[in-house]
Structure 1
Amino acid sequence: MNDKVSFGYEDVSPEEKTERVGAVFSNVARKYDVMNDAMSGGMHRLWKDRFVRRVKPQEGEAILDMAGGTGDIAFRMADAGAEVTVSDINQDMLDVGIERALDRGTDGLVWSRQNAETLTFPDRMFDAYTIAFGIRNVTRIDLALAEAYRVLRFGGRFFCLEFSTTEWPGFREVYDAYSHRLVPRIGKVIAGDEESYRYLVESIRRFPPMPEFAGMIRDAGFSQVRVEPIMGGLVAIHSGWKA
């Protein structure tokens, strides 16, 4: 078994990746949402709205929002009446989300520090599992998918929103140039952290292409796996069901 995993363009030990990813998100937590607006021109809000519409959160159902950090997805699902548990491996990100929930008067969310690869929740606890822009930062994606399957009830649904590789002719080259050259500079100006945003851009490039990631979801046991590309695959919604 290869004992190396990717940290951006580097190959490191699993333990080092977990530690370094934690440092990245601790560094950017306070400016995370501002940077999302700056990097995407605000489009991440539209992608997240579309994602939650696909999830179709229902009143009273239990949903685990993994890598939920600052609460963007959880707030949208809670507004629909779902009982949402927000989990993240990084306490700094959770702290920002808790502050945001207090500011907007959102009650009823459960905040739980969790490692996506080793969840402490019992089997078949949730009706849906969501993860938005978080799966590529997990050290062992296959273990995280297996845990997602385990904690879902039969008939439960898995939804993942993640960057991928756009297939639009010409746009891929423009986006590559923008992300590699400008995003780290924007991170330096807004968040005072160029290197963390260099890693985040590189992590997108190392993430499996849409067909490969869909195969990983199937390998975890999910059925009816679907991929919905956005902007030609710049972003994609992956989904599956626990039969």
Structure 2
Amino acid sequence: MTDATDPSAARPESQSLAGGVEDSASFGFREVPAGEKAGLVARVFESVAPRYDLMNDLMSGGVHRLWKNAMVDVVRPRPGEHILDVAGGTGDIAFRMVRRQGDRPDVTVCDINPAMLEVGRDRAIDRGLLQGLTWTTGDAEKLPFPNRSFDAYTIAFGLRNVTHIDQALAEAHRVLKPGGRFYCLEFSKVTSAPVGRLYDAYSERALPLFGRIVARDADSYRYLHESIRRFPPQRELAARMREVGFANVAWRDMSLGVVALHSGWRI
């Protein structure tokens, strides 16, 4: 059980308030009107976009690259498969997918933030990875794609930033073809209590410090730390995936649960 007095305890990301007042949503440790969260998150990523990948390397000691490689290994993208990468604006996952697909790449990157997409497109040009990549501005909760469009859906370190997690999961289910695969790589609940305490202390102090020194934005990285603490643990997220219709739901802990790779199938 989680302790209701602990700000890291999992809570619904939005809730109806009495008297018809607008739903609320968590923005880090704060509760804000649900309609305001997307704009607040957008400002965070507009601020950090130019140094986002450098900060990922610094904060994780480069381990995020291993986590992403492991995700793509599990996805096993085949040539010609239509793959949707959501909240993947800078292209980290998409580039790996395109390379695995070889001479028949087909990856659509969808991100709500134009600044992140601009960084991704520039990186694609620098790497000569233009073939088979499509860049689309769109909301994970209202994807701009028809039903049953994709063979696989991936989202890496993006689900915790949406306003309504269940709506984003339902949209993922909607746009997948029957037999389509869903994969979510996200920070999660550390499985070792001593390691968990060390990790929480590190992320609480180091993320804002790195943000202030490198990205000149401590507040945005303080939010990123808080959003990690508020994200549902592994078992709860798996249950919510089943509720929207995913089958064969499973997860794989990495780095003692610092991150988890969740998967499910649309039947």
- The TM-score with structure 1 as length reference comes to 0.99
Partner of 1:18: 38
* Structure 1 residue corresponding to 2:121, chosen from 98, 102, 121: 98
Say what the alpha-carbon RMSD is for the aligned residues: 0.7
Partner of 1:160: 184
1:89 equivalent in alignment to 2:112: yes
* Runs of 5+ consecutive residues of structure 2 not aligned to the other structure: 1-14, 17-22
1:74 equivalent in alignment to 2:97: no
Q: Which amino acid is the alignment partner of residue 198 of structure 2? A: V
Q: Distance in 2 between matches of 1:123 and 1:210?
A: 27
Q: Distance in 1 between matches of 2:225 and 2:177?
A: 34
1:201 equivalent in alignment to 2:221: no
Partner-residue secondary structure (3-state), 2:88: coil
Which structure has the bigger radius of gyration?
A: 2
Q: Distance in 1 between matches of 2:116 and 2:251?
A: 28
Query: How many pairs does the alignment contain?
Result: 243
Q: Which amino acid is the alignment partner of residue 173 of structure 1? A: R
1:114 equivalent in alignment to 2:138: yes
Q: Which amino acid is the alignment partner of residue 116 of structure 1? A: A
Partner of 2:158: 134
Q: Distance in 2 between matches of 1:129 and 1:13?
A: 29
The ranges of structure 1 where at least 4 consecutive aligned residues each deviate by more than 6 angstroms after the TM superposition are none
Q: Which amino acid is the alignment partner of residue 65 of structure 1? A: D
Partner of 2:60: 40
Partner of 2:245: 221
- C-alpha displacement of 1:169: 3.3
Q: Distance in 2 between matches of 1:149 and 1:177?
A: 36
Partner of 1:237: 261
Q: Distance in 1 between matches of 2:236 and 2:171?
A: 19
* Structure 1 residue corresponding to 2:48, chosen from 25, 28, 31: 28
Q: What's the CA shift string for 1:11-39, capped at 9, x where partnerless?
A: 11111111100000000000000000000
* Runs of 5+ consecutive residues of structure 1 not aligned to the other structure: none
Partner of 1:183: 207
- The TM-score with structure 2 as length reference comes to 0.90
Q: Which amino acid is the alignment partner of residue 44 of structure 2? A: V
